[in-house]
Amino acid sequence: MIDLILSELLNGNISLFYLINGINNPILNLVMPIITNFGSLIAWILICIFIFIFGGSYGRKVAVLCLIALFLTDIIVISLKYLVAEPRPFLTLPNVNLLLTVNGNSFPSGHTASSFTAATIIGLKYHLKSKGWNCWLIYPLIAFAILVGFSRIYIGVHYPYDVIFGAIIGTICAIIVFKYEYRILYNKIAIRLGMEKILTFNLIKKL
């Protein structure tokens, strides 16, 4: 019974991969590689640096929390990639529409995990007010994170389950950091490491 369920899940994973990867639209072939690169860990780190520099005292706190959450996410992703050691779909499946070549194992999707981590932290910390309504940034940011996950399948480097679990990991790590932010930023170890100086550091004034 368990073998049958696992077999059905595996077949569903492959079928959904081919469904998305097989779209092969000329416009999406140009757009999806760009979107996938904007969802990388490096891209989110650069965004955090931008927020840290130009976001004022509040932005520095948000940036540091986001970087900590991204670090936690990346540790889990790297560990799972090593333990599961799932080959990329373009290495095991025929007729894959491969738009970018990447190294490393497939499960889980690091781009998706990083995007959901950053989207959750930044989205919950910032909001825009429009006509009396609070339009939380988390909605467009999560939409972008979903698009990043979709792009990973579309360009042929991840299975759908890689993306789903990446999204779960990223969201959970962000929620944990968000929930315990005070303990993370103001515990004795953080204070000894100079967290207070980091949060009060203003590069613009120094320049």
How far apart are alpha carbons 115 and 81 in whole angstroms?
17
| Residue bearing tokens 């303990």 | 183
For the whole model, what pTM was predicted?
A: 0.92
Beta bridge mates, 136: 127
Tell whether the model's pLDDT for residue 199 goes beyond 80.
no
Domain carrying residue 34? 2-206
Hey, how many other C-beta atoms are within 10 angstroms of the C-beta on 94? 5
How far is 154 from 40, CA to CA, in rounded Å?
Answer: 16
Cβ-Cβ contacts under 8 Å for 198 (sequence gap 6 or more): 60, 64
At 49-104, the pLDDT tens digits run 999 999 888 999 999 999 999 999 999 999 999 999 999 999 999 999 999 989 99
> CA-CA distance, 175 to 195, in Å (whole number)?
21
DSSP for 55-80 reads SHHHHHHHHHHHHHHHHHHHHHHHHH
From CA 57, how far away is CA 67, in angstroms rounded?
16
Count of domains observed in the chain: 1
Both tokens of residue 151? 């792009």
Cβ contact 117:47 at 8 Å: no
Q: How far is residue 99's CA from residue 57's CA, in Å, rounded to a whole number?
A: 41
Report residue 191 as tokens.
């204070």
pLDDT tens figures, 102-117: 999 999 999 999 999 9
What is the DSSP code (8-state) at residue 87? P
What is the C-alpha to C-alpha distance for residues 146 and 111, in angstroms, rounded to an integer? Answer: 11
CA dist 207 and 200 (Å) reads 15
pLDDT surpassing 80 at residue 24 = yes
pLDDT tens track for 158-194: 999 999 999 999 999 999 999 999 898 888 787 787 7
Tell me, what CATH number does 78's domain have?
1.20.144
